[in-house]
Amino acid sequence: MAFSDQVAMTIGERAVAGRERLPVVNPATGAVFTSVPDCTMAELDEAVKAAREAQASWAQTPIEKRRQALLAVAGALSENAQALAHELTLEQGKPFQDALMEVYGAAFWMAETTKLDLPEHVTEDSEERLAVTKRRPVGVVAALVPWNYPILLAAFKLAPALLAGNTVVLKPAPTTPTTPLTTLRVGEILRGVLPPGALNVVSGGDRLGPWMTAHAGFDKISFTGSTQTGRRVMESAAAALKRVTLELGGNDAAIVLPDIDVAAMAEPLFWAAFKNSGQICIAAKRFYIHKDVHEPVKNALMNYAKSVRIGDGLEQGSQIGPVQNKAQYERIRSLVEDAEASGAKVSRFGETPQGDGYFLPITFVEDAKEKSRVVREEQFGPVLPLIRVESADEAIARANDSEYGLGASIWTSHIESAQTLAERLNAGTVWINESQHLSPHAAFGGWKQSGLGVEGGIEGLAEFTQAQTVFVRRKQAAPAQG
């Protein structure tokens, strides 16, 4: 399809240009290149009303037809992948090929989710009684997605919510930072693919998120973003006891053991930390490297970094793009400056483009204190502390000494030993000799301050449902003999 010149919200089956508009900045240039609607309260009310009016009919639609609708969504995303990826790179900054993979990944997630079944349990089947527990849709879902993977993370929410029979109002990240453009385009693409009101897409500034989490018309909030914002979402939702799923921040530890094949693992280790300029909640953000291989691993990572090209995501050959927004750009710089001021050694690699874009070099930090900001906080940028440890036990202890518990990884040649170590890590997902792999058939969620609930798999599908048990009395019990 040809995209419209002025991107609009999708409310019901209507394109809504919005009474107010907000600018969208290209992080590679620092310049405004388009505008999007700034949703008003009246327009949000319209979106919630459209979702509410569509929900009963959508829930009563046989699940096989809902599966077919999601497969049609996957097909529409794939058909428009090139155009979506181009606009995603413009607003998010990631290299075009990575943006393309994100769109195709969202389509894959949609299609694979259709293979899941809602659980149904027969807890009693006797002459006297039948008891069946089924899963019913929650109702109307507010889906709030962040700016690092706006299309893929929207699919994480839309696929199970819609399959379970809910309707959705989807909101991209607020401005600033913001990546609203491609999320709004998804709404544009899917008009006519889904029934009117099943999916509504709105965009807006910092006021819109609180409006949504407090809105009486929502039955559930599904949020991905920072832990700080997640706390506010939970507080707002608590007033009406709305259901919440919160996928929040992470400060994932990578443990590198002395038996690692350094040459073979240098490249995957590097991208475990620096993919998408490090702007991934499950990126490795602390490397605990055994003393016996610390120097070889450090040298291999830095040598590889010399070969990586930093640049505008639309330029051929760019592998790392800019940080998505100025606020995050300034925060990352402050973390590195703080580390240097406290005596850490900082090594920078990669030539950053000239101009007003939010480009940062690939940065390694050595000898950082364990309590320093660059180690304790989630950097969410192209910065990586390299920390020497004496043993695997020390690495496990230091990895667990964090308020976060989203993911972790272990890098070794001894798989069985790593599996035993994995059970000692306080994280929702542990990878061995890889990082960041997720599956629509497996549960993904954070421990501690990294979130509540899960996404993916049967467990993630169930998050968008309520259990309902129906008891059927088949035969009256015989009267007691007096």
Q: Please state, in angstroms and rounded to a whole number, the distance separating the CA atoms of residues 410 and 418.
A: 7
User: H or E segment at 376?
Assistant: helix 373-376
The whole-number pLDDT of residue 447 equals 97
* Given the residues 46, 87, 281, 463, the one annotated as active site: 281
Has residue 469 got a pLDDT over 80?
yes
Residue 420, CA atoms < 13 Å, CB-side half-sphere: 5
Other CB atoms within a 10 A radius of the CB of residue 31 amount to 12
Amino acid letter, residue 233: V
Chain-centre distance of CA 370, in angstroms? 27
pLDDT tens column, 206-250: 999 999 999 999 999 999 999 999 999 999 999 999 999 999 999
Element (H, E) at 383: strand 383-389
What pLDDT score was predicted for residue 177? 57
pLDDT attached to residue 276: 98
Q: How confident is the model at residue 1 (pLDDT cuts 50, 70, 90)?
A: low
DSSP codes joined into one string, 312-350:
-TTSTT--B---S-HHHHHHHHHHHHHHHHTT-EEEEES
pLDDT band for position 482 (cuts 50, 70, 90): low
Q: Whole-angstrom Cα distance, residue 65 to residue 247?
A: 29
- CATH superfamily for domain 9-248+450-469: Aldehyde Dehydrogenase; Chain A, domain 1 (3.40.605.10)
Give the pLDDT of residue 174. Answer: 82
Q: Which part of the chain is CATH 3.40.309.10?
A: 252-432
- Alpha helices by DSSP H, listed for 164-292, are 181-190, 208-214, 227-238, 262-274
DSSP string, 264-299: HHHHHHHHHHHGGGG--TTSEEEEEEETTTHHHHHH
At 382 the pLDDT is 98
Taken as a whole, the chain contains a residue count of 482
Is residue 313's pLDDT more than 70? yes
Give catalytic status of residue 39 as yes or no.
no
344 half-sphere exposure, CB direction, 13 A CA radius: 29
Burial bucket for residue 271 (CB in 10 Å: 0-12, 13-18, 19+):
middle
Answer yes or no: is pLDDT of 72 > 90: yes
State residue 233's pLDDT score.
Answer: 97
- In CATH terms, the superfamily for domain 252-432 is Aldehyde Dehydrogenase; Chain A, domain 2 (3.40.309.10)
Give the model's pLDDT for residue 119.
85
Helix, coil or strand: residue 52: helix
Mean pLDDT of 275-292: 98
Give the pLDDT score at 5.
Answer: 75
Torsion angle (degrees, nearest 10) of CA 257, 277, 439, 259? -10
pLDDT of residue 286: 97
pLDDT attached to residue 481:
66
Task: Count CA atoms closer than 13 A to 139's CA, side-chain side.
Answer: 14
Boundaries of CATH 3.40.605.10 in the chain?
9-248+450-469
Annotated catalytic residue, options 247, 378, 455, 463? 247
Please count the CA atoms within 13 angstroms of the CA of 70 that sit on its side-chain side: 31
What digits encode the pLDDT tens for the residues 363-388?
A: 999 999 889 999 999 999 999 999 99
Q: Are 254 and 461 in contact (CB under 8 A)?
A: no
Q: Specify the pLDDT at position 33.
A: 94
Structure confidence by residue, pLDDT tens digits, 154-193 = 999 999 999 999 999 999 998 665 899 999 999 999 999 9
Run of H or E residues at 91: helix 81-92
Spatial CA neighbour of 344 closest among 371, 324, 309:
371
pLDDT at 105: 98
User: 3-state class of 32 per DSSP?
Assistant: strand
Q: Is 295 a catalytic residue?
A: no
| 418-439: pLDDT as tens digits | 999 999 999 999 999 999 999 9
